[in-house]
A = this chain, B = another copy of it.
Amino acid sequence: MKKISLIIASAFMAVSGLSAQESIHAPLPTMSPVVTDSSTVVFSLTAPQADSVKVIGSFLEEPLMMKKGFGGRWYAETPRLAPDLYNYRLEIDGVTTVDPANPYLMRDIATQFNIFIVPGGKADYFLPADLPHGSVSKVWYRSDSLAVDRRMTVYTPAGYETSGKNYPVLYLLHGMGGDEDAWNELGRAAIILDNMIAAGLVEPMIVVMPNGNATQAAAPGYTGEGLILPDGMRSVAPAGKFEQAFPEIVSYIDSNYRTIPDKAHRAITGLSMGGGHSWRISMLFPEMFDYVGLFSAAVRWNGSGVADPSDTEAGQNMLRRQFELNPRLYWIGIGKEDFLYDLNKNFRNDLDRMGVKYTYEETEGGHTWTNWRHYLVDFLPLLFRENAE
């Protein structure tokens, strides 16, 4: 048997990478990036023929020029970075693409970005750890009103399968251009939930991440359009019907999962367009949610084609009625540089005039996933707790 093992081992090594064998044992590229102990980040790339290599990332005021060293190896090191999840791409001789040495990617609409994490603080919640994990499922539900099967992502907490318990539910909505993958990929929702639940900071809960684009059945690559980039991928116009159809989703979840199907055990939040959705859905169905979050929300945004009720007497009455039902939490978060800042400020002024209670968090920065991940970390511990009232 020893002989056969050796023959196979050699054959594995000899795999050519072209048509006859799968190149599964080619050498790994050198690791890039490396997060140093002093929280700087070192990027490297072997590119002897390249004339120019840059790192482009939202954490850089301007592209970071890499320097060519021995053997055509390029290097660059960032200044010390605050703990967080960062994304970047490389520009190689004018072409912006991903770092071939970093297989950890996240997709934002039609673009893939590399990611890395500088640990510490809230960023530790973004790193997977060896502790009890929830399940993440891609499931399809029938939307009768939209007359199509639609895909959603559902997180069930560790122990769900065997506990026999019923759980509260958070509906977590993405923004314009996003889809049912966004909160889990860009937002790292399941990893955050696993970590914060295991730490005892967050109640075990089901988290539902539907596709908020009424004109889109599922994320690109999962519909009958195949691997075409649909035009709609650029920016799926919200068709307004998503909000009215929302009870279908709640009904599907309450029918297929062990939920606690009442107002006190339902939360809804979303970012940008999904914040607008959360604002509108919670107003349209005020007896459905006791917890509402608006992350950089497109409140009072008419882009959805639905007449905005908030500037009419009827609309003001809807909002008033929602608050008469005493939601336990109405949470608003936005960055000082967010282009929706003024819209949110006006909305808060109206809430103040109405004399209703809400929680407000104002942060640095703008309309970014960095903020949205942080808002999720701040929002989750407030849900479904006795003392949240």
Residues of chain A having any CB pair with chain B under 8 Å: 1-2, 4-5, 8-9, 11-12, 14-15, 17-29, 31, 45-52, 58-61, 72, 90, 92-100, 103-105, 107-112, 115-117, 119, 127-130, 132-140, 148-149, 151, 158, 161-162, 175-178, 217, 220-224, 226-229, 233-235, 256, 298, 300-303, 307-308, 311, 335, 337-340, 343, 365-369
Contact A128 B221 (CB under 8 A): yes
A19 to B: closest C-beta gap in Å: 6
The A interface, classified by DSSP as helix, strand, loop or mixed, is loop
Residues of B near A366 (CB, < 8 A) are: 19-22
Cβ-defined contact, B49 with A217, below 8 A:
no
Given known contacts A26-B111, A136-B137, what 18 new A-B pairs fall within 8 Å (CB)? A1-B308, A4-B308, A5-B303, A20-B368, A24-B176, A25-B177, A28-B234, A31-B229, A47-B93, A49-B51, A49-B93, A49-B94, A92-B92, A97-B100, A128-B226, A130-B148, A133-B151, A162-B256
Inter-subunit contact A110/B103 (CB<8 Å): yes
Are B224 and A18 in contact (CB-based, < 8 A)? no
Copy total for this chain: 2
- Is the beta-carbon distance between A340 and B226 smaller than 8 angstroms? no
On chain B, the residues within 8 Å of A52 by CB distance are 49
**Closest approach, in angstroms, between the C-beta of A187 and any C-beta of chain B?**
12
Q: Do residues B92 and A97 form an inter-chain contact, with CB atoms below 8 A?
A: yes
C-alpha gap A368/B24 in the complex (Å)? 9
7 CB-based A-B contacts, threshold 8 Å: A1-B307, A1-B311, A8-B340, A24-B177, A51-B93, A97-B97, A139-B161
Whether the pair A47, B139 counts as a contact (CB closer than 8 A) is no
A93 CB contacts on chain B under 8 angstroms: 47, 49-51, 92-93
How far is A231 from B253 in the complex, measured between Cα atoms in Å? 41
Q: Choose one: B24, B95, B228, B303; the contact of A92 (CB below 8 Å).
A: B95
State the Cβ distance, A235 to closest chain B Cβ, in Å.
6
CA distance A235 to B116 in the complex (A): 23
- Output the least CB separation between A306 and chain B (Å): 10
List the B side residues contacting A301 at CB < 8 Å. Answer: 4-5, 8
> Do A47 and B94 have beta carbons less than 8 Å apart?
yes
Interface contact B98-A112, CB-CB below 8 Å: yes
**A51 to chain B: which residues have CB within 8 Å?**
49, 93
Q: Which residues of B contact A161 (CB under 8 A)?
A: 139, 256
Given contacts A24-B175, A343-B8, contact A220 B368 (CB under 8 A): no
Task: Among A23, A128, A162, A227, find the residue whose CB has the most chain B CB atoms closer than 10 A.
Answer: A227
Q: How far is the CA of A158 from the CA of B302 in the complex (A)?
A: 36
Q: Closest approach, in angstroms, between the C-beta of A274 and any C-beta of chain B?
A: 12
**The residue from B112, B307, B311 contacting A103, defined by CB atoms under 8 A apart:** B112
| Ranked 8 nearest A-B pairs via Cβ | A20-B366, A49-B94, A130-B224, A137-B137, A11-B339, A97-B100, A21-B367, A24-B177
- Which of these, B12, B61, B222, B229, contacts A28 with CB under 8 Å? B229
